[in-house]
Chains A and B, each alone.
Chain A
Amino acid sequence: MTLIATESLTKVYGGGVTALSELTVAVEPGIVGLVGANGAGKSTLIKLLLGLLTPTRGRIQVLGLDPTVDTAAVRARVGYMPEHDCLPPDLSAAELVTHLGRISGLPRTVARERASEALRHVGLHEERHRPVGGYSTGMKQRVKLAQALVHDPDLLLLDEPTNGLDPAGRDAMLALVQRIGTEFGISVLVCSHLLGEVERICDTLVAIDGGRLLRADHIAAMTTATDVLAVEVSEGTEALAARLAALDLPVGREGRLLLVPLADQGTYDQILGAVAELDLPLHRLDQRRHRVAELFARRESSHA
């Protein structure tokens, strides 16, 4: 089953601002990263997925349902964690999550049970009976995650879940999201402007920029090996470069690295031979991998 599918999805706001333009993407269940700079259209896409906005053109499907038509059915199966502060300070986490569980359609006693379960899973125990106003940012983020989880959704939409967290808090939140995606069997769409974070936990990545799709693919496909060998020696980089050039190998430079196009297995031997002849301490010799960040780097250079 396709988790999220859009077809030529376009959203133009009243003021003529195009937030999304001709977005066509299909993602499979799993942990999906949605990356893009601020204003790239991430929040608009989330609101369209929840049926809070109607598309100007094109079609959108969530869990096989159209959120503009079956709004209630979609929302019953989706949990949403907003980016901004959204917790009433005077209620306790347990009360708030129970109440929101009922608004999701859970019977009263079930809502109470699942609320304390959800809070336990995000790591809030006894403190759940204290008013949220006294919580740290990390605890508030956990409550926000718990309320999205309370009605056992099939898809979680997390908007910048690590916002405002310190490095340890970020790691804990990312580990939690990864656990939800793998152990709980709930698909997750993580929205972030921090590529590094998303890259760490996601199976699939959807990159958007200025409302347009940059690329949507498995992380593995984005980091496939390239036909370039990277060579690093502790000293004598210049001598090695000259030697390789003399062997008719087109050598490129990138910082302390020498980049050599990989023609065939012989290229390895030629490089190893050259290093051995010059008696240089070889630090590293490996095949270069694509980095996800190149996606945006290339985009920027084409802009320039």
Chain B
Amino acid sequence: MPEPTGVIHDIGYQRYTGPRLGRRYVFGALYLHGVRTAFGLGRSAKAKIFPWLVVGIVLMVAAAVTAIRSQIGETVMTYAQFADSMSWLVIFFTAVAAPELVSRDLRSGVLPLYFSRPLSHADYPLAKLLALVTALFLLLGAPQLVMFLGAAFTSDGMGGVWDELLDLLPGLLYAGLWAAVFASIGLLIASLTGKRAFAAGGIVAVFLMTTPVVGVLSILPAQAANQLAGIASPPTLVQGVGVWTMRDLLITDPDGVVPDLGPFGPVYALAAVALVAACVTLLLARYRKVAAR
């Protein structure tokens, strides 16, 4: 008679003797989890609605732009202009994703479970920040890739593709700048409160409230104040850096309103770097405190 197979035995508790991976792996695990969270993956259907609505809109815009260009031959917007014209969607996406990444953890009290593990109090916010930067970059970069593929397949010869690529790369860098600035501001604000609605409101408020400041500064009778006005608000700050570094790619309409930076282009760039650095420093300080609670 054959021995019975497939019998389940309760083998009791098994000790684990396999590898325990180090800091880099743990950071990576938290980072990937964060990117997934930003898009609502691994979460309820409700959490997926908003992120994918935004993704749908930007991809549709990209597809439309590509279609118009290939059919009519008219360039509606350049790669770099894409980020500019999507700025409000980026703000809304940040306002939803940043609280999802950090406020939720503050609210549910899960942080002691993280900080009692081999994860330093700096790695947690940095992994979350990098995840949000990645999510925003994908949000702005993927549609540009769609536009590039559309243009590449309709352009004539390798030279055309190469020209497109040279236009795409600055566009992607610009998208990276948008992502870095918006993610660091958004995550810092969200890390201050466990209430997601407050965090989302706060993020939108920062962007909304600073816009009138730019408006007021730009109509002051002093030229330097007008030229530096854009620094007062994150979207205009990023645009200023863009106009300074890639003017031709951002300003294609000769009759349009062009932000006048005067000689202050480098100031915009420095301000953007300083803003991101300050946000990251404050974020790290915030989590140094939270971890010990």
Which chain A residues have a beta carbon within 8 Å of chain B's beta carbons? 47, 50, 52-53, 71-73, 75-76, 78, 80, 82, 84-91, 95, 99-100, 102-108, 110, 114, 117, 121, 131, 147, 151-152, 157, 183-185
Contacts and interface: CB of A to CB of B under 8 A. Distances in A.
Contacts of B262: none
A80 to B, nearest CB: 4
A147 B21 contact: no
Contacts of A73: 118
Interface centre among A76, A105, A121, A184 (most CB of B within 10 A): A105
Contacts of A75: 116-118
B9 interface: no
Interface in B22-43: 22-23, 25-26, 29-30, 33, 42-43
Contact of B110 (A47, A87, A95, A110): A87
A88 B23 contact: no
Contacts of B112: 80, 82, 84, 86
A78 B118 CA distance: 10
Contacts, number: 99
B292 A82 contact: no
A213 to B, nearest CB: 24
Contacts of B111: 86
Interface residues of B, number: 37
A114 B33 CA distance: 19
B6 interface: no
Given A50-B116, A103-B114, A88 B18 contact: no
Contact of B108 (A50, A52, A86, A100): A86
A80 B110 CA distance: 12
A217 B288 CA distance: 36
Nearest to A150: B16
A184 B44 CA distance: 35
12 contacts: A71-B120, A76-B20, A82-B116, A88-B105, A90-B43, A102-B26, A103-B29, A103-B30, A103-B117, A105-B26, A105-B118, A185-B15
A105 B20 contact: yes
B113 interface: yes
Chain B interface mostly: loop
Interface of B: 12-16, 18-23, 25-26, 29-30, 33, 42-44, 47, 104-105, 108-120, 291-292
B33 A72 contact: no
B292 A53 contact: yes
The 10 lowest CB-CB distance pairs between A and B, nearest first, are A152-B16, A80-B116, A72-B118, A105-B20, A88-B108, A102-B29, A184-B13, A86-B109, A105-B21, A82-B112
Contacts of B109: 82, 84-86
A254 to B, nearest CB: 45
A103 B13 contact: no
Given A52-B291, A114-B16, A147 B113 contact: yes
A168 B112 CA distance: 28
B15 A105 contact: no
Contacts of A89: 108
Contacts of B20: 76, 104-106, 151
A106 B108 contact: no
B117 to A, nearest CB: 5
B283 to A, nearest CB: 19
Contacts of A86: 108-113
B292 A103 contact: no
Contacts of A85: 108-109
B18 A110 contact: yes
Contacts of A157: 116
B19 to A, nearest CB: 7
A83 B18 CA distance: 30
A218 B58 CA distance: 67
A121 B11 CA distance: 11
A78 B116 contact: yes
A75 B13 CA distance: 21
A33 B58 CA distance: 58
Nearest to A132: B108
Contacts of A184: 13
A117 B114 CA distance: 20
Contacts of A106: 16, 18, 20-21
A50 B291 CA distance: 11
Contacts of A88: 104-105, 108, 110
A102 B30 CA distance: 8
B158 to A, nearest CB: 41
Nearest to B108: A88
Given A86-B109, A131-B44, 18 more contacts: A47-B292, A71-B118, A71-B120, A75-B117, A76-B117, A76-B118, A78-B116, A80-B112, A80-B113, A85-B109, A90-B43, A99-B33, A100-B114, A100-B117, A103-B26, A105-B118, A106-B16, A107-B18
B16 A103 contact: no
A75 B113 CA distance: 11
A110 B292 contact: no
A88 B110 CA distance: 7
A103 B291 contact: no
